[in-house]
Amino acid sequence: MYAVIKTGGKQYRVSAGNKIKVEQIPADVGSEITLDQVLMVGEGESVKIGSPVVAGAAVKATVLSHGRHDKIKIFKMRRRKHYQKHQGHRQNYTEIRIDGISA
């Protein structure tokens, strides 16, 4: 069984046992969270598609850790204008493990 969930403005295709890194969620490490924005649930040939979410569907997950991604370097430059700007960014994330999908 798999599901397509929406969290942090992005969509993820998940199944039980998957580990994914999502946008930061304010939850403690080890706590169990419920993701209720399930856009689609599929099992074999049968597929339920929500409009926009599947009614009564939920995904249970456990928070494994919090962290920060690798640094992304941003460089802006205008040629012949003596303008250069260096900047960096590290995005926060929460790593979760999918425990179960209920439709």
User: Nearest-CA neighbor of 95 among 61, 62, 65, 68?
Assistant: 65
Which residue in this structure is represented by tokens 């969270």? Answer: 33
Mean pLDDT of 49-55: 93
Mean pLDDT of 41-53: 93
CA dihedral 29→34→39→45, nearest 10 degrees, is 100
Mean pLDDT of 74-97: 98
Q: Rounded to an integer, what distance in angstroms lies between the CA atom of residue 5 and that of residue 23?
A: 13
Question: What single-letter DSSP state applies at residue 45?
Answer: T
In the prediction, which pLDDT does 17 show? Answer: 95
**Per-residue pLDDT tens digits for 4-23:** 999 999 999 999 999 999 99
| Contact between 99 and 61 (Cβ < 8 Å) | yes
Q: Rounded to an integer, what distance in angstroms lies between the CA atom of residue 91 and that of residue 42?
A: 31
Mean pLDDT of 68-72: 98
In the prediction, which pLDDT does 103 show? Answer: 84
User: Nearest-CA neighbor of 52 among 36, 73, 68, 72?
Assistant: 36
